[in-house]
Amino acid sequence: CQEAGTRFTSVKRSGPVLHIVVVGFHHKKGCQVEFSYPPLMPDEGHDSNLLPEEWKYLPFLALPDGAHNYQEDTVYFHLPPLTGDRKCVYGVSCYRQIEAKALKVRQADVTRETVQKSVCVLSRVPLYGLLQAKLQLITHAYFEEKDFSQISILKELYDHMNGSLAGSALDGSQVYLGLSPRDLILHFRHKVLLLFKLILLEKKVLFYVSPVNRLVGALMTVLSLFPGMMEHGLVDSSHYRPKSSMSEDLGLVDSSGAEEFITVSVTDIAASNLELEGVESTQPAVESLSSGTSTEGDNHYLKPPSRTSPGSSESDWETLDPSVLEEGVPKEVADVAAELPDTFEPNPEMPITVQPQAVSGQGGVTQGLVSGLEEDQYGMPLAIFTKGYLCLPYMALQQHHLLSDVTVRGFVAGATNILFRQQRHLSDAVVEVEEARVQIQDPELRKILCLTTADLRFADYLVKHVTENRDDVFLDGTGWEGGDEWIRAQFTLYLHSLLSSALQEDNERLLADYGAPFVSAWKITHNYRVWFSNKHPGMTVITPGHPFQGQYGVADVKLRLSHSVQNSERGKKIGNAMMTTSRSMVQTGKIVGQSVGGALTSAKSAMSSWFSTLAQPAPPAASGPEPVAEVKP
């Protein structure tokens, strides 16, 4: 019987759920672990407050900043792997608070009017929405007991989750539960494409909003637009070390595995440049993307930064040593970039189409030779969150040092504390979710991310299809066109077409529709070079060229003008001035008399009508059968 129990324990420990943890707020000690099953420390009891060094931030992630302002909240967070395990640990936490006087059993350390606790699940699989749905029910039941010493329900939760999730495949229906690209586009509109390209460039992107459930929902929904990213692309996304245990040596960290990141001191880069010249001779150089005061956004992977900031050390990192690409990989694979055949014939007369390809049925995934990720036949997911590029859906204030850590070359992170937003120099872009605003300080980066006309057509196409039936409570989000899966299919097509275009010879004209500055910057990123260094058989069926390429027309001029008016500061000032002028004209009309006022009101209506026509998203040039006149630049 004892042997059967031992076998059962070993089976449970190998399941998808690692631990069930309760985190509470102590009036003297702050956030601390109060219960864990199985124990977080093998030699300790279930009620031990001790934590592995790698997980020292767990209490602050599970019980977020400002939690007392909300009755309940949900947090997604990532923890670094423990020693001997190289994969990210995915955390989901459900927070609630209850009045202390409502407790049936009030413990001695309860000295405040309210009791704040979180129940969280630490998992091997990124099933955020599914874990959240189950956890919310159990958390509600746990609080309804009004006696937090009743922990049997938490042990039952552990057994139930491992039993129900064991052997379940990471398919879209489970991974994407609770993530709605439709809502994202309704809120951010065309800026969703800007965020997509921003992450492709591996920039330092900070999302900011409260409460945490809105924050992590927006951030993870953006990542769900990248094919395969949620399923297999985040296993290396939390490889960082707590501040107290971080080595001061800026030399190479052990990079024997494909899932370890590396750091290179600036003084070590000079010796590598000679070796790198031949590898990157075909890649166009890009000017520094850093701002005038710091270089945290510098993407010069092959040479030291042009200037450093005396107040920070975030400019001293290096992304990828070519030896990593060659280590453990046959030479012919490492040199495949020079041997790729021109499999495609670019067809400039290709009709514009965005018919999505089926996400399923693309074949199984295989281990990437260079990326270390499980890839499909197209090389998806891209190796974005590897080699020190972090994905932290929620960051606690105690993790603030990671923004300027030399071992962190970039991040997509979420925060609710205003201190993160105030220190804009530590991020390349700050995404204020509440206002749907993307703030980029560096003018060079803004220029690189400027959406082309073809990009605007693509974004406008998405917005129109999403907004068509948004008022129908029965059909909203359930149809194919304009639905969540349809939107992900469009971004999959966009990315596949971009990669296919990059493989062509004499592809300048094909890539121009994506933005020449953007493509130049993207080609020196880690994810592009890893993808380009290997063959992907599925790409042979992908037609190169932007899905919305084509001649420019009057509709494009209106679309560009609408985009500029709605999003540039100058455009907003013009819009406000026109509204002020309109109100003044109405007031003047009332004063001078009905006849004059009527004329002025008519003029005001005509002006407003003209402005509204420009502000409305124009249909893509390809959607109408009638030809439009070409506008010469």
**pLDDT tens digits, residue range 221-268?**
999 999 999 999 999 999 888 876 444 333 333 333 333 333 333 333
Written as six digits, the tokens of 624 are 């109408």
The predicted pLDDT at position 484 comes to 92
Per-residue confidence (pLDDT) for residue 288, from 0 to 100: 38
- What is the per-residue pLDDT across 433-459, written as a single tens digit (0 to 9) for each? 999 999 999 999 999 999 999 999 999
Q: What pLDDT sits at residue 604?
A: 53
The predicted model scores a pTM of: 0.71
Fill in the DSSP letter of residue 629: P
CB 198 within 8 A of CB 429: yes
Percent of the chain with pLDDT over 70: 61
Whether the pLDDT of residue 329 is over 50: the answer is no
- Give every CB contact of residue 74 below 8 A, 6+ residues apart in sequence: 92, 93, 94, 95, 132, 136, 212, 213, 216
Omega of the bond prior to 330 within 30 degrees of 0, cis?
Answer: no
14 burial level (CB within 10 Å; 0-12, 13-18, 19+): exposed
Q: Using CA of residue 173, residue 178, residue 179, residue 180, what is the dihedral sign? A: positive
pLDDT digits (tens, 9 = 90+) for 50-70: 999 999 999 999 999 887 788
pLDDT at residue number 609: 56
- What whole-number percentage of the chain has pLDDT above 90? 46
* pLDDT band, residue 151 (cuts 50/70/90): confident
Amino acid (one-letter) located at 405: D
Is the distance from CB of 92 to CB of 76 less than 8 angstroms? yes
Q: Band of the pLDDT at 570, cuts 50, 70, 90? A: low
Record the tokens describing residue 466, joined without a space. Answer: 């999403």
Tens digit of pLDDT for each residue in 508-525? 999 999 999 999 999 999
CA distances from 536 to 339, 498, 503 (A): 13, 14, 11
Neighbours of 98 (CB within 10 A): 16
Query: What tokens appear for 158 in the block?
Result: 């552990």
Q: Quote the pLDDT of residue 513.
A: 94
97-104 LR contacts (CB < 8 Å, sep 24+): 97/67, 97/68, 97/71, 97/72, 98/143, 98/146, 102/146, 103/146, 103/147, 103/148, 104/145, 104/146, 104/147
Question: Based on the number of CB atoms within 10 Å of its own CB, is 290 exposed (0-12), middle (13-18) or buried (19 or more)?
Answer: buried
- Mean pLDDT, residues 581-591: 53
Position 343, amino acid: T
Pick from 374-388, 549-563, 566-580: least confident = 566-580
What gap in Å lies between CA 587 and CA 438, rounded to an integer? 37
Question: What does the pLDDT read at residue 209?
Answer: 95
What pLDDT does residue 411 have?
97
Is residue 21 within 8 A of residue 39, CB to CB? The reply is no
* Per-residue CA distances from 106 to 94, 119, 149, 575 (Å): 22, 19, 10, 59
pLDDT, residue 341, reads 39
**How does the average pLDDT of the chain come out, rounded?**
74
**Mean pLDDT along residues 414-433:** 94
Residue 320's pLDDT band, with cuts at 50, 70 and 90, is very low
292: exposed, middle or buried (Cβ count in 10 Å: 0-12, 13-18, 19+): exposed
Q: What value does the mean pLDDT take over residues 604-615? A: 52
**Per-range mean pLDDT, top range of 142-156, 384-398, 470-484:** 384-398
Q: Any idea which of 91-100, 396-405, 595-604 has the lowest mean pLDDT?
A: 595-604
pLDDT for position 45: 86
Q: What pLDDT sits at residue 339?
A: 40
Instruction: Give the model's confidence band at 291: pLDDT under 50 very low, under 70 low, under 90 confident, else very high.
Output: very low
Most confident by average pLDDT, 63-77, 323-337, 555-569:
63-77
> E strand or H helix at 263, and its extent?
none
Is the model's pLDDT at 104 over the cut of 60?
A: yes
Distance CA(414)–CA(220), nearest Å, equals: 10
Query: So what's the pLDDT on residue 29?
Result: 79
Instruction: Check pLDDT > 90 for residue 88.
Output: yes
- State residue 16's pLDDT score: 92
